[in-house]
Structure 1
Amino acid sequence: MVRSRPLVVLGVLLAAASAVGVWALHRAFVLTVHGQAVDEAALVGARTRLWRLEGGANAVLDSVSAVAVLAALGVVAVVALAQRRVRLALAAVVLVGGALATTQVAKHLLLHRPDLDVTYALDNSLPSGHTTFAGAVSAAALLVAPVRLRPLVAVLGAAYTSAIGVGTLAAGWHRPSDAVAAMLVVVAWGALLTPLAGGRPTAGTGAGGRAGAVVVLLVGAVVGLGAAAAALAATWSSVPPAPRGRTAQLVAGAGGALGVGGAACAAVLVLLLLQRAADRAADRAADRAAGHGAGRVAASGGGGTGAPRAGGGAGAAGGTVTAPQPTARPGSPG
């Protein structure tokens, strides 16, 4: 595997931007009255108008446990080691463990939720641990997946993360900002570890599937985040108090759910493109190595089969070796 210094720098910048994003979400939707009201409106709208999803959401959310974390770590490590890529296995394990640890530290130690007389639940819930788990497992699977399977893994990972994130809303466990912040935590760790793990030479393998996955994720991100922005604008102008009426609650709840799904697609898309950039760096390194190898072969072959030395060219060309003729002595017989 090959590491590219520009990609490492890009990963650090993406991680820093993700950290700023978490800070901005906390600042806007937790530390302000209006932000808390909008976030709570989305949660209430989702529980009130998307209540049919609650049964399925609880079943999906119950699958996330300490056993599930250990099982996920074991699976991604085995997949990487089966390809004889120890560095990938380590990166995948660190990604999942680091993202989960960061979420718990941020939620319980670094961030707080003040009582602004808006919501009854005062314990800080940003970022969401369940959504962090889903996103981190999806990112780790994307990291260790064979090149041909990577597009499918990306789409399935985005779908799984979206299901967990929306499920936390439908079950009333988390607000939209909690789920989006969790995805930013995952992006930060994925952006740091993908360049360090290095890319793999692909020689154009899986280009068609990758293009299809990019289109699917891009459409999901644009549609989801666009609809969420429109719903956020409508809800922002109507709170506080909480939106009343079926339509207003549906807009708030569905907008929050679509925003979570769009954020999941955007997060996986960023990591997929970063992984592709790492693979391109590996492709270029492989091409350079092949070119240098061909040059060395040509150079070593030139010493044995190259042009004949000066002075022997005529004899070599004719295939006959001619001995030099002696010079006639004076007085010798003519």
Structure 2
Amino acid sequence: MASYDRSRAGGSPRPPRTGDTWWYAAVAAEAPGSFSTRVRTRTRRACLGAVLVLTVVYAGLVLTATGRRWGDAALTGRRTDTVVTTLLREHPSLSGLTTLSLVLGCLLLPAVGLIRRRYALTGLAAGAVVTALAITALLQRYAPRPRFLDPGGALVPSGFPSAQTTLALGIALGLALVVPQRQRGLVVGAATLWAVAVGAYTLADGRHRPGDVIAGALVVLAVHCGLHSLLARKGRVRPAARRGAALPGLPATLPLLLVAAGGLGAGLWLLGATLAVPDAALAVPDAASYDAAGFRLAHRCGQALAAGVVATTGLLLIALLRHVELERPPVPFRLGGPFVEAAGAPADAELVGPFTEDLDHEIS
């Protein structure tokens, strides 16, 4: 250890250099019951839980005939929902606005990090977005699933998971790495509401099924929880102020909570009503037993469940990082100059306060 890594006589201990005692942080992070251990445990459990739920969604909505029938009914039901058709007909610019918002979000995330000079965290946030998109592309290409053909005989590409939802929610949760801790709830909550709107538009436009949007949200949650678990493993987290930390984020987290609770509640209730519809009525739109109300019900159920799941993922990450500070502590007070050097202080030591260790500083 360095020679100055000892307690000062009659004074407070001098803080050691990070480069000389880097292993102190690693040992402290591994201590049972430490703050880093608690953060790592809960984020790792959230990551594993997201992977487990993603597996269940994939098995239930992609591999089973009932799940595929429900997804197809939700996709077809957008044409029977007058609210959706009227909105898309009267506002054709929504498609361009959605694409533009995704482009601006991709620029906003690194811009905030670079302006705040959080270069390492900005790189991690961008890496998390790229990793989530890469996992989404791999699942779309290689995940086993039944093959479907369009009326022309061409193979229908898989939309599981939704790339638009993955990108939007990845940007929203990535902002948790680059914004200040006190503004994290407000910024991440508002960005998650935007991700909910992007997912809802992809469903209304017929680009994706509800399971695709839900899977995209779960992929992003798993990646970000795994990243924060790794940061806690490396000792890069520390406790933040607890008093009044939740108040600045209420304007965004409260609507997000209402969307999550209302979406999941209404979606599960509508799902029960949809399952009560005979399978023959939801088979194909041109069947003799075609039921427009059943298709419309399936679409609204998918919209509610997708919005509830996306909002819940944002709330879960905000809750996991509520009292977690990801930035380094402020630099301690240092004093230098010719008077300090003339007093005999080591040239490479970090000085705290106006006095040196020779104790020859009596004031009479």
When normalised by structure 1's length, the TM-score is 0.74
Moved over 6 A (4+): none
167-176 vs 208-217, greater mean Cα deviation: 208-217
Question: Are the equivalent residues in 1 in contact too, given 2:165–2:217 (CA < 8 A)?
Answer: yes
**Where do residues 1-334 of structure 1 align in structure 2 (5 Å cutoff)?**
4-49=36-81, 50-54=84-88, 55=92, 57-63=94-100, 68=103, 72-114=105-147, 122-195=156-229, 196=231, 198=237, 201-202=240-241, 204=243, 206-243=245-282, 244-279=290-325
Partner Cα distance (2:93, 2:239) in 1 = 38
Letter of the 1:173 partner, please give it: R
Partner Cα distance (1:274, 1:240) in 2 = 41
Question: Are the equivalent residues in 1 in contact too, given 2:164–2:199 (CA < 8 A)?
Answer: yes
Task: Kindly provide the CA deviation profile for residues 165-200 of structure 1, in whole angstroms up to 9, marking residues without a partner as x.
Answer: 111111111000000000001111111223416367
Partner Cα distance (1:146, 1:122) in 2 = 44
Unpaired runs of 5+ residues, structure 2, are 1-24, 30-34, 283-289, 333-351
| SS across alignment from 1:272 | helix
Change beyond 3 A, Cα 1:80–1:62: closer
Task: Kindly provide the CA deviation profile for residues 123-175 of structure 1, in whole angstroms up to 9, marking residues without a partner as x.
Answer: 32210111111111111123312234323322321221111111111111100
Deviation at 1:37, TM superposition (A): 0.8
Bigger helix fraction: 1
CA RMSD in angstroms comes to: 3.5
Partner Cα distance (2:79, 2:237) in 1 = 43
Letter of the 1:82 partner, please give it: I
Total equivalences in the alignment: 287
Task: Kindly provide the CA deviation profile for residues 284-331 of structure 1, in whole angstroms up to 9, marking residues without a partner as x.
Answer: x97xx9xxxxxx99xx99x99xxxxxxxxxxxxxxxxxxxxxxxxxxx
| SS across alignment from 1:252 | helix
Higher relative contact order (CA 8 A, sep 6+): 1
Deviation at 1:212, TM superposition (A): 4.9
Partner Cα distance (1:145, 1:45) in 2 = 40
Question: Are the equivalent residues in 2 in contact too, given 1:34–1:236 (CA < 8 A)?
Answer: no
Partner Cα distance (2:95, 2:114) in 1 = 34
Change beyond 3 A, Cα 1:82–1:36: same
Larger radius of gyration: 1
Letter of the 1:59 partner, please give it: G
Letter of the 1:228 partner, please give it: G
Question: Are the equivalent residues in 1 in contact too, given 2:190–2:252 (CA < 8 A)?
Answer: no
Task: Kindly provide the CA deviation profile for residues 260-298 of structure 1, in whole angstroms up to 9, marking residues without a partner as x.
Answer: 11111101101111221423xx79x97xx9xxxxxx99x
Letter of the 1:17 partner, please give it: G
Letter of the 2:55 partner, please give it: W
Q: Could you say which residue in structure 2 is the equivalent of 1:315? A: none
Letter of the 1:275 partner, please give it: L
Change beyond 3 A, Cα 1:75–1:62: closer
Change beyond 3 A, Cα 1:76–1:64: closer
Deviation at 1:245, TM superposition (A): 3.8
73-82 vs 24-33, greater mean Cα deviation: 73-82
Question: Are the equivalent residues in 2 in contact too, given 1:130–1:164 (CA < 8 A)?
Answer: yes
| SS across alignment from 2:130 | helix
Partner Cα distance (2:250, 2:227) in 1 = 23
| SS across alignment from 1:228 | helix
Change beyond 3 A, Cα 1:62–1:113: farther
Task: Kindly provide the CA deviation profile for residues 26-67 of structure 1, in whole angstroms up to 9, marking residues without a partner as x.
Answer: 1111111111111111111123312223335423444377xx
Task: Kindly provide the CA deviation profile for residues 63-89 of structure 1, in whole angstroms up to 9, marking residues without a partner as x.
Answer: 377xx2xx6455322322332323311
Partner Cα distance (2:299, 2:105) in 1 = 31
5-14 vs 37-46, greater mean Cα deviation: 5-14
103-112 vs 244-253, greater mean Cα deviation: 244-253
